[in-house]
Amino acid sequence: MSPMTALSWVLPHRLLSAIARAAAYSTRPWLKQALIDTVTRRFGVDLDEAAQPDPTAYPTFNAFFTRALKPGARVPDPDPRALLMPADGRISQLGRIEADGRIFQAKGRSFTAAELLGDAEAALVFAGGNFATVYLSPRDYHRVHMPWTGTLRQTVHVPGRLFSVGTDAVRSVPRLFARNERLVCHFDTDFGPMASVMVGALLVSGVETVWSGVEIPDYADEIVRKDWRGHGIVLERFAEMARFNYGSTVIVLLPPGAATLAPGLAAETPVRLGQALAHRCGN
Please confirm, yes or no, whether 279 is among the known catalytic residues.
no
Distance CA 94, CA 132 (A): 4
Which residue(s) pair with 143 in the sheet? 243
Distance CA 188, CA 150 (A): 5
Which residue(s) pair with 77 in the sheet? none
Helices (H), the chain: 3-8, 13-24, 29-43, 61-65, 113-117, 120-124, 167-172, 176-179
Distance CA 42, CA 23 (A): 18
Please confirm, yes or no, whether 110 is among the known catalytic residues.
no
> Which of 145, 157, 172, 196 does the annotation list as catalytic?
145
Please confirm, yes or no, whether 231 is among the known catalytic residues.
no
Exposure on the CB side of residue 80, measured as CA atoms within 13 A = 2
> Which of 17, 92, 172, 248 does the annotation list as catalytic?
248
The pair phi, psi for residue 103, each rounded to 5°, is: -120, 130
Distance CA 179, CA 170 (A): 11
Residue 202: how many CB atoms within 10 A of its CB? Answer: 22
Contact 129, 103 (CB under 8 A): no
> Which of 77, 88, 119, 140 does the annotation list as catalytic?
88
Neighbouring residues of 85: CB distance < 8 A, sequence distance ≥ 6: 132, 134, 147, 271, 272, 273, 274, 275, 276, 277
Active site residues: 88, 145, 248
